Amino acid sequence: MQMNKSFNLLSLAALALSGFGVTSAMAQNPNYAPGDVVLFFQQFGGSNTIMANIGSGTTFRDATSNMVNITNIGGLLSNASTGFGANWFETSGLYWGAAGVRSTSTSTTAAAVNGDPNRTLYVSAGRLALGIEGTAGSGAWSLGANADMTTGASNIFTMNNRLETVSAISSLVEGTASSTIDEQNPFLGSNPGTAFGVFPGGVEGGFGAGSLGSFGGVSGVEGALDLYRILATTTASGTIAIGDNSDLRNGTYEGSFVIDNTGSVSYIVAAAAPEPTSAMLLGMTALIGGCVRRRKATV
């Protein structure tokens, strides 16, 4: 069993690295497409894993208002035999994360698709506290090299591709013997280790006793994840980016996923950057005008 699993993983990795990460021609599951963000759950020392597709990464990138109850996966999580039990949300050692990638191609000149160039990563970070709505509650991811983007994209694609090749619905429940969640998100001791080969400390958040409180209009929050978008290139035609390369391989905060004790998942959008007020613009104009007058006076 392990030999077959290793062979399949190597085959998928080779396919991804060859540049054919988008598999629309071989699509088997109408409820999943490369580029979708997948939630995943695993328990330290446990034997079950769960994946659930929650939609395209660009949907969350472009969201302008909170999205309440995107999906409810409480039935999957609470199943006594294939999930984590009725009180899953109080279970210490249970972790969840989110990840998505559309293409593993290393081309940096191919036109972006819906604003995302090849190897654009959508990946979570455990939110340290609920904090202020619309702002990140974790440190932004930063990948130092182009090779890290390739490794991350390949490994995320490999994990999420289980939905494409094994499931016919938007979720997948598997034992750890066949799941790739535990391999792409290993534990270091009893804590998350390096995820997808490039994210030290993991991309997951944990559950435990007690509720975190209310956030973004959602009460009884039990877990919270920040979502980051990481670009492998900012020069591909059609890329939605800041434009000054400050976001090249540096995560930009897009919003946060929260889950309550019923298993309802919601998305709380990042606050829009404040636009300059009229007063600020007038003040800047006056300041520039003053500088010009002083320069003329000294001529």
Q: What are the per-10-residue average pLDDT scores of the chain (299 residues)? A: 39 42 61 98 97 98 97 97 97 97 95 97 96 97 97 98 96 97 97 98 97 96 98 93 77 97 98 56 42 37
pLDDT per residue as tens digits for the range 107-146: 998 999 999 999 999 999 999 899 999 999 999 999 999 9
Beta strands of the chain (E only): which ranges? 36-43, 48-56, 67-72, 94-101, 121-126, 171-175, 187-188, 191-192, 205-206, 213-215, 218-230, 252-260, 264-269
Q: How many angstroms separate the CA atoms of 33 and 161, rounded?
A: 9
Q: How many angstroms separate the CA atoms of 48 and 135, rounded?
A: 33
Tell me what pLDDT residue 272 has: 80
Tell me what pLDDT residue 241 has: 84
Tell me what pLDDT residue 242 has: 62
The candidate with the shortest Cα–Cα distance to 265, out of 23, 37, 16, is 37
Tell me what pLDDT residue 17 has: 42
Tell me what pLDDT residue 221 has: 98
